[in-house]
Amino acid sequence: MNDLRGKNILITGGLGFIGSNLAHSCVSKGANVTVYDCLDPKSGGNMRNICGIEDDIEVILNDIRNFEGLCSCIRKKDIVFHCAAYTSHKNSMSEPLIDIDVNCKGTIYLLEAIRRFNKDLKLVHIGTSTQIGKMKSNPIDETHSEFPVDIYSANKSASEKYVLVYSSAYNMRTCVARLANIYGQRSNIRSPDFGFINFFIGLGLNNMTMNVFGEGKQIRNVNYVDDVVDILLSAAINEKVNGNAFFAVGNQHLTISQIAEAIVKNIGGKINYVTWPKDREPIEVGDAVISNDKLKSTLELPIFTDFNKGLCKTRDYFSSYLSNYL
């Protein structure tokens, strides 16, 4: 599946969670991989994430907001995975200008670099399900209205539109994979800014308490990172997705309480139910039940990993390298 032998691949944000797992998979499939990351302390980059492939890849420590840096490494690439992002919903509300710089300007810089210097490559852009905002119809699909409730989600919605505009206006081979609640190895488990599931996993590994806001009845789609990587690789070699955005999600939906309970069962820790913080309740979207029908009709899919099995795989990885992630 997804033979990438000899392909030249660039991964922005390649030292982070999704990017580094992509890098490992691409190397295993025979690709020539370059990762581009600035190791921003407010981002998820970690040099430990490339352990085992560090001699097989090129690492460029540079910022997505550096246009010249992007231009210099975009030539002769066959595929680009754009994973670099400023990902905190909460921080985007207090630092909106940084969020705009990274998520909007950074994406434009990348698109312009591709347009000017290597228009024939394939770009897979990482989007987010949270750009939808509150669910108006059940399930959510690609035709659902978009009314994001935080700056991060609004800017990711805008950056998705940039990618699709460049596809139609300049005949570029681009697509957008909207992700939702990814968990697994090489994630940032120290902060909720990189996803509550991975943060809860970190708390469980340290036998600490997970604070669940309210009753934790909100429904979420959950996705194991290896399954997401397989979807992204499939999108990279499939021309039918060009010019399209799609939800790259699995089949499993759980409440936040069920997610926390599964982490306690498979990893450790305990649960504490608390009232909603004043700065979080206004940007909470409620239930998010997402359809993957478009994904199923377009791409070759993995056999999706059951949440409990994925948690056990995640636990086994972090148990060996926990000190590198705390």
CA 24 to chain centroid, in Å, comes to 15
- Give per-residue pLDDT as tens, 294-307: 999 999 888 999 99
| DSSP code at position 305 | P
Place of tokens 């698109």: 111
Assign 2 a pLDDT band (cuts: 50, 70, 90). Answer: low
Domain of residue 214 covers 8-324
How large is the angle between the packed helices 196-205 and 256-266, nearest 10 degrees?
Answer: 30
Contacts with 31 (C-beta within 8 Å, 6 or more apart), sequence order: 4, 5, 6, 7, 8, 9
Query: What are the tens digits of pLDDT across the range 70-128?
Result: 999 999 999 999 999 998 888 999 999 999 999 999 999 999 999 999 999 999 999 99
Model pLDDT, residue 285: 82
Instruction: Please report how the helices 151-170 and 106-117 are oriented relative to each other, as an axis angle in degrees rounded to 10.
Output: 10
128 located within any domain:
yes
> Does 235 fall in a domain?
yes
In a domain, 39, yes or no: yes
In this prediction, residue 274 carries a pLDDT of 92
In a domain, 2, yes or no: no
Q: Do residues 33 and 27 touch, judged by C-beta distance below 8 A?
A: yes
Under 8 Å between Cβ of 9 and 118 = no
Residue that has been written with the tokens 């795989």 in this structure: 313
What stretches of the chain show up as alpha helix (H) in DSSP?
A: 17-28, 67-74, 89-94, 96-99, 106-117, 151-170, 196-205, 225-236, 256-266, 293-298, 307-321
Domain count of the fold of the chain: 1
- Structure confidence at residue 20 (pLDDT): 98
| CA–CA dist 87, 119 (Å, integer) | 27
Compute the distance between CA of residue 199 and CA of residue 44 in angstroms, rounded to an integer. Answer: 12
Average pLDDT of the chain to the nearest whole number: 94
Contact 222, 305 (CB under 8 A): no
User: Do residues 97 and 28 make contact, with C-beta atoms less than 8 angstroms apart?
Assistant: no
Residue 48 located in a structural domain? yes
24 confidence band (pLDDT: 50, 70, 90): very high
Residues 128-170 have pLDDT tens digits of 999 999 999 999 999 999 999 999 999 999 999 999 999 999 9
44-55 per-position pLDDT tens digit: 899 999 999 999
Give the list of residues 6+ apart from residue 2 with CB closer than 8 angstroms, or none: 29, 230, 233, 234, 236, 237
Tokens of 300: 């070759």
pLDDT at 244 over 90: yes
Half-sphere exposure of 180 (CA within 13 A, CB side): 28
Tell me the Ramachandran region of residue 33: left when phi exceeds 0, alpha when psi lies from -120 to 50, beta otherwise: beta
8-12 sheet: strands from edge to edge: 57-61, 32-37, 8-12, 79-82, 122-128, 173-179, 244-247
What average pLDDT does the segment 219-235 reach? 96
**70 and 109 in contact (C-beta within 8 Å)?**
yes
CATH code where residue 158 lies: 3.40.50.720
Residue 3 lies in a domain: no
In a domain, 36, yes or no: yes
Instruction: Count the residues in the chain.
Output: 326
